[in-house]
Structure 1
């Protein structure tokens, strides 16, 4: 078979409108990934579908391209009049932003207006957008249903509904809001597309209740579902007191580009970001203690190259969609196997190679073994390495002469520095008494 014959089909060959193909081509996107190749013919026909694929497989354009094509030029969908024809529901603000940005690329040559609607922003600015006229709305469940119940978001003419990362919406407790949105559309004749990495029972029940004979598409099968074959995994046990030094060394590995470091808690993320900034690294942070504007500032700095390291908690794991992330570092072991999958799915994407580094604390070994067994990773007892271990330098291609500090102290984008408490500082309690540091917390 020739190289030409073995290439995946282009968007144009699958019948996508020329205007959309032109928009995608500006980003060098011409040929489809597996999930796109499988879903496009079905989605363009208006059929309900369930798309199942791991993170980084191209799901956004798997639903976004046919959605835009149909809204733009499908006789079954009413002409655009400023009320939404398509609704994309996503679990997080960051993912709403990313999906909107991706669809704006594809819609650059279309007379289709898009808007992001999510919490953490003033209602007034989003209501103004809707009043000016919007054809495609991308948003989070809570804010969408709030605006609908207020009468600001019309859903009676929505012809296409997409539920993206449905399993994450279930995990975050958004199922009641999602059901309310589905019920609001129940009187409309509309196409529903549901995309998810996993299919818990509650999601399948939702599909049976609200979808019309959906076709279930899986872009892969077997063990490779869990991790990208293009991602090299380096896992080892690290002492808690040495983890920052380990990360500082790992960030000086040969070929290291954009890097995402995942911490399990917002406090750990904030502290690690500050520790790295003090060592001269260019760092941004995304975690729950930051306001929406600060999180947006950090993500913009990361995407634009102002910083090349982003420290994040798991709430941001599915909202960071940058194809050229070279390294992902698990500073703390996640709580469950699928969170691990979503974390390391941030690298090795779209034809790129990547490295996923996992630091297993001595007190995290049992948690790691659950992940190892579930995903069949073959490393129940990772080796014990330190920041100075030659095995670490060899595994990650770290020069032998690196130091923990790479330059003058920097500031973490989007984050006020974490200040250590003074040993003599006391904290006021109600009633006027004071509690010394080291007392009951």
Structure 2
């Protein structure tokens, strides 16, 4: 089924928990004969796989289909790299997302939120995704990269193509992946060209932005090649906003489906960060990650050969009863909350502090502005294809003002 068909009672909020429970019931490590891949679903096993990049590689090129346009993107995509190459690019980007740097963005995030919500000041109904959840993070990341924020509609089109999954089923195999690569290749080509033009412009006209710093940065005495920077900037531009977009939509839907949550958060705004963490545990935007075995291994009592695809299920691990009390209960005050939504180990999401800050500011500002905030009809809510990303595509909300 495609994302545009995921509405109402068919939503991932109902379907995914049942799928994660079925995966856990089958055992911590199981083999999928149909798709020829292994599933790892328990919290301990998922953490172990993500902590061992030497054995469980993020580089899928030996077993995945290739496509020319993706090769250019792949050169700077450190999400799909292993050490030592991964360290070089990760070191560069981590400097731009330190807690201190991210905290300094708070006033700008507040200003962008206020402006976006001012745009619907005369309306008692609006689409939360179009109004706030999409434009907020893309404006922030575009400014960090020195990319014109006014091009955000173009970036939205790219993200919709890359993460829409409209031609895919609700569970991927290699054949699905090959079809997907061919379908989105023109978009990747357009994105690569746009980013290359931006890099060339910044070479001629340096600014105080991340792209300009990447052009002069040195790691181990060498500078990045343009080809590496293209994939690097493109990754940040697209991946740098999609998680926050999904998180904000998921938070609104989850709060709405758990009556009393918004009231409690209004009474004690200091609980918003814990509530955001629980939304991340409850509905991880990317609920599974792929890894490739680099050598024969024994995992969960099973012999797994080299160059085998493992799918580690963050969504299932986030509801592991051996790690979480009442895992199938949404608890906005849950503490501790050792969810794996942002990953684990060297590939832990570098943008996690920014996503958390954007979500906290946006949610607090909405609660301050709107005494009531609700989803009037789930028949009008549409979802992304959960095989690609868990999130809403359109989320009409009804509000009242003081």
TM-score, length of structure 1 as denominator length: 0.25
The structure whose residues are more often helix, as a share, is: 2
Higher relative contact order, chain-length normalized (CA < 8 Å, sep 6+) = 2
TM-score, length of structure 2 as denominator length: 0.27
- Bigger radius of gyration, 1 or 2? 1
The structure whose residues are more often strand, as a share, is: 1
